[in-house]
Amino acid sequence: MSNTQEPISRVSIICAKGGLDEVYPALILANGARMEGIEATLFFTFFGMKAVMKATYENLKVATVGNSALNLAMPMMKMPVTIPFPTLIGAIPGVSSLSTWMMKREMEELDIPPVGEFLEMISDAGAGIFACKLAMDMFKLTRDDLIPQVEGVLTVGEFYAKSAGASIIFT
């Protein structure tokens, strides 16, 4: 029995959440895959649809209420990561906008592109970008509601067929 593992050649990444901090992992994984020569497919479903909708992709926000990992952002405010971010503070008007601004500023300093530019880069690099038919139907969306980089709308069965042989990553 050999201990050598086959390299990953294909990934299908499912993005089901629509917060700024929830969409970027899918984008980073897809971009990284393409940079490594790995075939990549992005499938946006449920609230992840916000990332590929013309009306919302530029205005994704960081959720501050109920986000138990938000203390990871404390170093952006020159505070230790060990200080918790209380949910109650996250409910104060403007805190989500401030958190979003801070995260976008940090990403800009790290030369991480905004969502729209990132999706364009990923598409240009040959990754497939698809929307979920069920989510489209549920949210009463049409193809015209989506950014041009979305190649098509797939049912779950079509997504699985397109993902045959790929590693599936759920973000």
Tokens, residue 128: 């497939």
| Cβ neighbour number for residue 124 with a 10 Å cutoff | 10
170: β partners: 14
Whose tokens are 């203390």? That residue is: 71
As a whole number of angstroms, the distance between CA 69 and CA 62 comes to 11
As a whole number of angstroms, the distance between CA 52 and CA 153 comes to 12
As a whole number of angstroms, the distance between CA 136 and CA 154 comes to 10
As a whole number of angstroms, the distance between CA 76 and CA 82 comes to 13
pLDDT at 52: 98
As a whole number of angstroms, the distance between CA 77 and CA 161 comes to 46
Cα torsion 13, 131, 125, 17 to 10°: value is -50
pLDDT at 7: 84
**Which residues lie below 8 Å from residue 118, measured CB to CB, with a gap of 6+?**
24, 27, 31, 112
Which parts of the chain are beta strand (E)? 10-15, 39-44, 128-132, 152-154, 167-170
Structural domains in the chain, sorted by start: 10-170 (3.40.1260.10)
pTM of the model: 0.86
As a whole number of angstroms, the distance between CA 40 and CA 31 comes to 8
pLDDT in tens, the chain (171 residues): 566 788 889 999 999 999 999 999 999 999 999 999 999 999 999 999 999 999 999 999 988 776 666 666 666 667 666 766 666 676 778 778 888 888 888 889 999 999 999 999 999 999 999 999 999 999 999 999 999 999 999 999 999 999 999 999 998
